[in-house]
Each structure stands twice: as structure tokens, then as C-alpha cells.
């Protein structure tokens, strides 16, 4: 099974970020690390996927 990237998560990433933030306040890099840990090595995100989603959520 291959890795899952940001494009494949479109539509789910916002909810994954919110679920991560429910565990406590954390910075962007920490969110990336938590999501990758939760993905058991199958989830590979880049800042280019995460930060636009964070800005979108911040504006909501």
C-alpha cells in the first residue's frame, strides 16, 4: 500500500486538523507530526497542504 498525500485528503484535511487540535493547542509543525504519527507511516503531508487549510479554518 502506498502513502497518502495531501491531494488525496482533499475534503478530509480540515476535519483531521480540527480533531488534532481537540487534543490541545499546538503549532503547525506539531500538527503535521501528529497527523503523520496517526497515519502509521502511510500519511505524508507537506506544509503546502497544511498551512492553506489552517488559514482557511482560521477565517471560518
Is 41 within 8 Å of 33 (Cβ atoms)?
no
Within a domain: 10 = yes
Res 24: pLDDT: 93
Res 59: pLDDT: 87
Res 27: pLDDT: 92
Total tally of structural domains belonging to the chain = 1
Q: Which domain holds residue 22?
A: 6-59
Q: Tens digit of pLDDT for each residue in 1-45?
A: 577 666 777 778 899 999 999 999 999 999 999 998 888 778 888
Cα-based distances in Å from 18 to 1, 14, 33, 54: 26, 6, 14, 9
Within a domain: 1 = no
Within a domain: 55 = yes
When pLDDT is averaged across residues 47-55 and rounded to a whole number, the result is: 88
Amino acid at each position: 500500500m502506498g502513502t497518502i498525500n495531501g491531494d488525496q485528503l482533499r475534503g478530509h484535511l480540515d476535519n483531521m486538523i480540527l480533531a488534532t487540535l481537540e487534543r490541545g493547542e499546538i503549532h503547525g509543525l506539531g500538527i503535521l507530526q501528529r497527523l503523520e504519527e496517526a497515519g502509521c507511516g502511510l500519511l505524508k503531508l507537506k506544509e503546502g497542504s497544511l498551512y492553506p487549510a489552517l488559514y482557511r479554518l482560521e477565517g471560518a
